[in-house]
Amino acid sequence: LTYSRTSPGMHIIHIAAEMAPVAKVGGLGDVISGLGKALQRKGHLVEIVLPKYDCMQYDLITDMKALDVVVESYFDGQLFRNKIWVGIIEGLPVYFIEPHHPAKFFWRGKYYGEYDDFKRFSFFSRAAVELLYQAGKKPDIIHCHDWQTAFVAPLYWDIYAAKGFNSARICFTCHNFEYQGTAPASELASCGLDVHQLNRPDRMRDHSADDKVNTVKGAIVFSNIVTTVSPTYSQEVRTVEGGRGLHETLKSHSKKFIGILNGIDTDAWNPSTDNYISVQYSADDLQGKAENKDAIRKCLKLSGSEGSQPLVGCITRLVPQKGVHLIRHAIYCALELGGQFVLLGSSPVPHIQREFEDIANHFQSHSHVRLLLKYDDALSHLIYAASDMFIIPSMFEPCGLTQMIAMRYGSVPIVRKTGGLNDSVFDVDDNTIPEQYQNGFTFVAPDEQGLSSAMERAFQHYIRSPESWQQLVQKDMRLDFSWDSSASQYEELYERSVARARAAARV
């Protein structure tokens, strides 16, 4: 197949279910392209393997073409043909797997949420490893992500290493321990894994039942490196409440488990070059930010008379994790405090979607509140640019990207102190934090009072001390949330693991 190593760096292959901007549901998609590009810039050969979804944004893929080869992969006792496509996304070489399976696994008009997700992604994981094996690849690192590709770890060590495909160390990143990919143990057999061997308490058996397996647990057990997406979250998931049943497994594998804060793609998220926004701007020239605020007010038919009225933004999946009850409260709180509120969000949970549709209808022609219940990347850029404050009242948050994007666009974050929010937002009123790190407003208690008091402090600061607010905005915009330093941490982990393997092979 097409790409070969030309640099002295490592050969790193990510196998994932998402990649921004082509196939993105949430933060995972951003990580694959952001981390991938940063590792590539450091001189490594980085390749990505994705499913070939029907609903991807094909116009954002360069040089997409089908390869002449067909890769056959095992599933449910027989071999299925896979058509392999290659293309370039954001400068990264990507393989797309198109299974010729009657169930049309990736021909569903959506990424997740199908009745047979476990089957779809166990098929993909097997086909992805098979592709690398048949292509004669000799990667140093295979990096899989979340439960959808967690199958790769046991598949690699149990089936492929025995065939001599064993050059790689396996790294697994869990982006959210809420989603663990559990299923009746028998379903594991479809992709060729040995149910009897793996359905054991120290391997893949789920804590909830003897006949259930857990793919994230399998990846923790079978990977050489296990990471999650922030240091605070890596501690939280070691507790009974945070680990969702995996705290014991994480504790017993704690030597290889570490939290690394995600970065953001600072090319894609750059107010001085962003083509989605009305006027580009920078920390040195904030006039454009005010113009973006005016523009969005016009566009959303919000009243625009008072320049001093702060605009609060919120861009999120509307799921319980994100503190939907507090998001709802924030709308009313912003109004009471004399501000405006714009929400961009959509929900896979029908009753939450309905609840927010009701609120959206209630505020349909209100002059200070607008709810936009959809997924819209272009609009998200406008809201980051136009808002003065950005609200993230999550119940838990593995890393969170929106607080970092908001700061890059000069929107000051108001967040609950949990997970990655705790590692990236530091309260301006907390004297124990050195001033250069203070960048937003935080609260601890997951209730309305906690949020209200943080919002009140933010509004007071905005209204009473406009100059100091502007300095805060400029400071936030100048913070470095690029992937560079996080990618260096991954690089170091990979290198150490590869070196350990080589040393062991020499003994």
Q: Minimum distance from CB of 153 to ligand ADP (Å)? A: 22
Question: Contact with ligand ADP (CB under 6 A): which of 346, 474, 488, 489?
Answer: 346
Cα separation, 258 vs 342, whole angstroms: 36
Cα separation, 479 vs 472, whole angstroms: 11
Q: Does 315 bind ligand ADP (CB under 6 A)?
A: yes
Q: Minimum distance from CB of 344 to ligand ADP (Å)? A: 5
If the CB atoms of residues 17 and 159 are measured against ligand ADP, the closer one turns out to be: 17
Phi, psi (rounded to 5 degrees) for 483: -70, -10
Question: Contact with ligand ADP (CB under 6 A): which of 26, 36, 313, 410?
Answer: 26
Question: Contact with ligand ADP (CB under 6 A): which of 344, 451, 455, 493?
Answer: 344
Instruction: Give the Cβ contact number of residue 430 at 10 Å.
Output: 11
> Do you find a cis peptide bond into 21, omega within 30 degrees of 0?
yes
If the CB atoms of residues 315 and 391 are measured against ligand ADP, the closer one turns out to be: 315
Site string for ligand ADP, 370-409 (x = CB under 6 A): -----xxx--x------------------xxxx--x----
| Structure-block tokens of residue 294 | 């005016």
Q: Is 217 exposed, middle or buried (0-12, 13-18, 19+ CB in 10 A)?
A: buried
Cα separation, 306 vs 310, whole angstroms: 9
Phi, psi (rounded to 5 degrees) for 207: -70, -20
Question: Contact with ligand ADP (CB under 6 A): which of 18, 30, 130, 427?
Answer: 30
Q: Does 122 bind ligand ADP (CB under 6 A)?
A: no
Nearest CA to 401 out of 216, 269, 236 is that of 269
Instruction: Kindly determine how many residues on this chain lie close enough to bind ligand ADP according to the rule CB under 6 A.
Output: 18
If the CB atoms of residues 316 and 418 are measured against ligand ADP, the closer one turns out to be: 316
Amino acid present at 365: S
Q: Minimum distance from CB of 17 to ligand ADP (Å)? A: 12
If the CB atoms of residues 118 and 269 are measured against ligand ADP, the closer one turns out to be: 269
If the CB atoms of residues 67 and 372 are measured against ligand ADP, the closer one turns out to be: 372
Q: Minimum distance from CB of 374 to ligand ADP (Å)? A: 6
In degrees, rounded to 5, the angle at the alpha carbon of residue 92 between the alpha carbons of residues 6 and 483 is 100
CB nearest ligand ADP: which residue?
A: 27
How many helices and strands in the chain, by DSSP H and E? 17, 17
Give the range of 232-240, 338-346, 363-371, 479-487 binding ligand ADP by CB under 6 A.
338-346
> Helix, strand or coil for residue 319?
coil
Task: Decide: 444 and 453 in contact? Cβ < 8 Å.
Answer: no
Q: Minimum distance from CB of 150 to ligand ADP (Å)? A: 17
CA distances from 81 to 16, 74, 76, 108 (A): 20, 9, 13, 19
Binding site for ligand ADP (CB under 6 A): 26-27, 30, 315-317, 344-346, 375-377, 380, 399-402, 405
